[in-house]
Amino acid sequence: MSIDASSTSKISTSEPAGDTPGEPSPGEAEGNQNSGGQYSGIESIAAAVARLRTTFDSGITKPYSWRIRQLKALKALLLENTPEIEGALIADLAKNPAEAQLTEIGFVLAEIENTLANLKRWLRPKRVATPLLIAPSSAKTVREPLGVVLVIAPWNYPVQLLLVPVIGALAAGNALVAKPSELAPATSAVFARLFARYFDARAIALVEGGVPETTELLKQRFDHIFYTGNGRVGRIVMQAAVENLTPVTLELGGKSPVYVDDTVDLKTVAHRIAWGKFMNAGQTCVAPDYLLATPAVAAALEPLLVEVIAEFYGADPATSDSYGRIINDSQFERLTGLIEGESVVTGGDSDARTRYLAPTILHDVSRDSAVMAQEIFGPILPIVTVDSLGDALRYINAGDKPLALYVFSDSKAVRRRFITGTSSGALAFGVPAAHLLVQGLPFGEWAPAEWALITANAASLCSVTTRRC
């Protein structure tokens, strides 16, 4: 996460109309339609967090009814302001409205609906057996909120990756601070205004800004920190959390390989890989990072990928409304540098002024090349040839555990080898990235770079604790 140190902080909130602890303000009772206000300055961050702590300690956030009101307010925020949010995503990432609905707004709305439908069941105490030694007796576990939660969001999915953790935190009855990415300034500004209008400001604040604001936030005592971004900043978050022994969920990235063999229909494979890779111009944490195949499979797949890219984005993707742009100049320069010296099958064209980088396929990439030494996080797909399935497995296992691993094979034996012989946050057969749409699946990652195990419901690690009683 590259942060602009010259930015100015803004804390978006509003003065509650209700004064009685636990009682909704008139605006809150009608969907939290509060009149917004913004308070600028680093010194106000500590005061804002202290205010949220007071709110949580008063018990305002704990009732089931309060949680439901906040979730419904978030739903209304999205539905009533869809054009403005879509416009912000176009401004920040050139993300077209159809993609915004699938991966951002619609994704969050589905999460809200799932949470509203299941929250009462998730919060229900669970009885556990007691030993005869203490009979007659009974025991149960009760889920309760942690307290004040900090959510720090990234720029690549600035709606989804801000609001999904917010859903979990609110559903579990926490107060929270939301910190959108300053690298997606249009989206950040929209949410700064809308949070103040729709949410209960006694318990929910949004802080805009860069390094100074994030640094100041991390000095405060939180009961959980949920950070999505890169490993460098993730380490900073962890170090800051140690001061207060604050639990942390880190949702980080990594290189997600794709393996393709000769048992599958390669035209279908090309469609699915291109969809997963070039969505959001490749700026997706679970996008296929590189492709492993034998020389024969690679040779057959490359022209099909070229055809599919033209089918998706036309002869010139730069003119396509369906293709995004790189978030900033720094990322653009890094990505174009990774292409230098490589054999380009298709793409490679770029425009620094608009931060356009064409969907790019690289042929027979060396395993020690620069593009293989880091998470690509952009529209570049290197094809690395392997001698055999065993060679592919050894290469995958020699690196950090992938965030996701995608296998295109109709062979049960090959699938079994990947199930038993590899470890990754997700293992998907026949399609990339689609596992994110399955709400019952956890979104899992593993050390050293990845720490999160994020469930797709309010029982998220960032949201609740369990008490024996």
123-150 burial: b if 16+ Cβ within 10 Å, else e: beeeeeeeeeeeeeeeeeeebebbbbbb
Best CA proximity match to 202, nearest among 56, 38, 44: 56
The amino acid sitting at 167 is I
**Active site annotation includes 251:** yes
What residues does 408 pair with on adjacent strands?
A: 260
Best CA proximity match to 285, nearest among 333, 316, 252: 252
Q: Is 43 exposed, middle or buried (0-12, 13-18, 19+ CB in 10 A)?
A: exposed
Which of the following is catalytic: 285, 342, 445, 450?
285
Place of tokens 């702590």: 53
- How many Cβ atoms are within 10 Å of 352's Cβ, its own excluded? 12
Place of tokens 């296929």: 288
Which of the following is catalytic: 111, 182, 251, 375?
251
- Calculate Rg over the CA atoms of the chain: 23
Query: Is the alpha carbon torsion for 204, 206, 212, 218 positive or negative?
Result: positive
Place of tokens 């749409």: 437
Best CA proximity match to 462, nearest among 62, 96, 132, 176: 176
74-87 burial: b if 16+ Cβ within 10 Å, else e: bbbbbeebbeebbb
Phi, psi of 67 (to 5 degrees): -60, -45
Do 323 and 359 contact (CB within 8 A), yes or no? yes
**Active site annotation includes 285:** yes
Distance of CA 407 to the CA centre of its chain: 22
So which residues are the catalytic ones? Answer: 251, 285
